[in-house]
Amino acid sequence: MSLPVNELFETIQGEGQFTGVPAVFVRLQGCPVGCPWCDTRHTWELDEADEVAREGVIGISGDTPRWASYEVEQLVALLTDGRFRARHLVITGGEPCLYDLRALTEQMHRAGWRCQVETSGCAEVKVDDHTWVTVSPKINMKGGLPVLTQALQRADEIKHPVALEKHIEELDQLLQGVALPRKPQICLQPISTQKRATEMAIRVCIERNWRLSVQTHKYLNID
Ligand SMILES: C[S@@+](CC[C@H](N)C(=O)[O-])C[C@H]1O[C@@H](n2cnc3c(N)ncnc32)[C@H](O)[C@@H]1O
Ligand SMILES: Nc1nc2[nH]cc(C(=O)O)c2c(=O)[nH]1
Ligand code: SF4
Ligand SMILES: [Mg+2]
Kindly report the CATH number assigned to the domain that includes residue 43. Answer: 3.20.20.70
Protein residues with CB under 6 Å of any ligand 3 atom: 31, 33-35, 38, 40, 43, 93-95, 120, 138
Mean pLDDT in residue range 52-64: 93
Residue-level pLDDT at 142 = 67
Q: Are 151 and 119 in contact (CB under 8 A)?
A: yes
The whole-chain average pLDDT of the chain stands at 96
Q: For ligand 2, is residue 92 a contact (CB within 6 Å)? A: yes
Q: What percent of the chain has pLDDT over 70?
A: 99
Whole-number Å distance between alpha carbons of 187 and 61: 28
Mean pLDDT confidence for 37-65? 96
Torsion angle, alpha carbons of 2, 32, 200, 179, to 10: -70
Distance CA 128, CA 67 (A): 25
- Closest ligand 2 atom to residue 222 Cα is 1
Whether 177 has a binding-site annotation, put simply, is no
User: Is 39 marked as binding a ligand?
Assistant: yes
Number of domains in the chain: 1
pLDDT of residue 61: 77
Alpha helices in the chain (DSSP H): 72-79, 102-110, 149-154, 165-175, 195-208, 216-220
- What region does 94 belong to: left with phi over 0, alpha with psi -120 to 50, or beta? left
- Asked if residue 115 belongs to a known ligand binding site, the reply is no
The residue length of the chain stands at 223
Q: Are 133 and 157 in contact (CB under 8 A)?
A: yes
185 is in an annotated binding site: no
Q: Give the CB-side neighbour count of residue 173, counting CA atoms within 13 A.
A: 11
Is residue 152 predicted with pLDDT exceeding 90? Answer: yes
Ligand 3 centre distance from Cα of residue 33 (Å): 6
pLDDT of residue 119: 98
Residues 186/197, Cβ–Cβ less than 8 Å = no
Say yes or no: CB of residue 17 within 6 Å of ligand 1: no
Domain that holds residue 15: 2-220
Res. 177 pLDDT band, cuts 50 70 90: confident
